[in-house]
């Protein structure tokens, strides 16, 4: 839950390995009120199908998490002000591999930055060691008019090896940002977890994001995680390369970030 809420990662992968989103380079660009894109339509259909499966399923399972993070970051870049953010997520699981979730994030009093994520996913077990997940989700930032340029529809595919490695790829579209020359952006991620014992583990992640037509940048993180029963504490160092400073509107220097998570 270091850079985003847990719905962005496979259930068996640690939160620090999640695939997070890029801040659009054109924050000040004019809002585009055009009709929903094909990606939005696909998302709506998949979300509706997952929800219908949950309603019909006789056996239901669910999970929930609440986390307090030092700030809200997405793929190495700050979202909103650098202030603590409270995040929560609820996920329903279907026996056939479907899941549907809702995540909320809100910064401390006095800040208008907030985030809502709705998500649908399908999981597959490929072997004793490998699993995969396809997901569609929509990120909304309803805090104010300026934050709407962060809204996006995102499709992702992840492959996980045991509970140690995760590889991911994402395509996403910003409906309120003019991007006629490059309507879709992409991201590639790889993350790892190295157990140090029953409670401690080292974490690391690397990724590259395209913010076309202006270019692409790389980002990464490394950290230490502690887990005991339903509690998790994580301290990570996040950074981006020099190209991010000219592509993104938010500050992107290397910085430490902390998160405390409780699972239900």
* Higher per-residue confidence, 107 vs 264: 264
pLDDT of residue 179: 61
Instruction: Please check whether residue 85 lies inside any domain of the structure.
Output: yes
pLDDT tens digits, 70-103 = 988 888 887 777 889 999 999 999 999 999 999 9
pLDDT of residue 94: 92
- Rounded-to-integer distance, Cα 156 and Cα 154, Å: 7
Parent domain of 11: 6-263
Q: How many distinct structural domains can be found in the chain? A: 1
Instruction: Please check whether residue 164 lies inside any domain of the structure.
Output: yes
Do 117 and 19 touch, CB atoms closer than 8 A?
Answer: no
From the number of C-beta atoms within 10 Å of its C-beta (0-12, 13-18, 19+), residue 30 rates as: exposed
Q: Band of the pLDDT at 45, cuts 50, 70, 90?
A: very low
- Rounded-to-integer distance, Cα 50 and Cα 42, Å: 12
pLDDT of residue 183: 75
> Residues 19, 134, 241, CA angle at the centre, nearest 5°?
20
Instruction: Please check whether residue 82 lies inside any domain of the structure.
Output: yes
Supply the CATH number for residue 104's domain.
2.40.160.40
- β-bridge mates for residue 88, sequence order: 66, 104
pLDDT tens digits, 127-172 = 999 999 999 999 998 876 777 777 899 999 999 999 999 999 999 9
Instruction: Please check whether residue 1 lies inside any domain of the structure.
Output: no
Instruction: Please check whether residue 243 lies inside any domain of the structure.
Output: yes
Find all residues with CB under 8 Å of 52, minimum gap 6, and list them: none
- Rounded-to-integer distance, Cα 186 and Cα 24, Å: 12
pLDDT tens digits, 20-40 = 444 444 443 433 444 344 445
């Amino acid at each position: 839950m270091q850079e985003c809420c847990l719905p962005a990662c496979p259930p068996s992968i640690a939160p620090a390995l999640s695939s997070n989103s890029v801040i659009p380079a054109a924050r000040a660009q004019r809002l585009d009120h055009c009709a929903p894109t094909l990606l939005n339509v696909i998302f709506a259909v998949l979300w509706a199908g997952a929800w219908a499966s949950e309603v019909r399923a006789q056996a239901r399972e669910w999970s929930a998490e609440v986390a307090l993070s030092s700030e809200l970051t997405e793929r190495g870049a700050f979202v909103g002000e650098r202030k603590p953010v409270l995040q929560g997520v609820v996920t329903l699981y279907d026996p056939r591999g479907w899941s549907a979730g809702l995540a909320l994030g809100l910064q401390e009093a006095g800040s208008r930055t907030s985030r809502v994520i709705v998500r649908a996913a399908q999981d597959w077990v490929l072997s004793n060691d490998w699993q995969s997940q396809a997901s569609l989700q929509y990120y909304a930032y309803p805090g104010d008019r300026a934050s709407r340029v962060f809204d996006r529809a995102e499709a992702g595919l992840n492959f996980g090896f045991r509970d140690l490695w995760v590889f991911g790829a994402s395509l996403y579209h910003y409906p309120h940002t003019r991007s006629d020359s490059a309507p879709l952006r992409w991201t590639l991620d790889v993350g790892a977890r190295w157990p140090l014992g029953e409670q401690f583990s080292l974490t690391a992640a690397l990724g590259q994001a395209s913010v076309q037509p202006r270019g692409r940048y790389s980002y990464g993180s490394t950290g230490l995680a502690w887990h005991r029963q339903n509690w998790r504490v994580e301290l990570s160092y996040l950074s981006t390369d020099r190209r991010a400073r000219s592509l993104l509107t938010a500050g992107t220097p290397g910085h430490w970030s902390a998160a405390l998570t409780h699972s239900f």
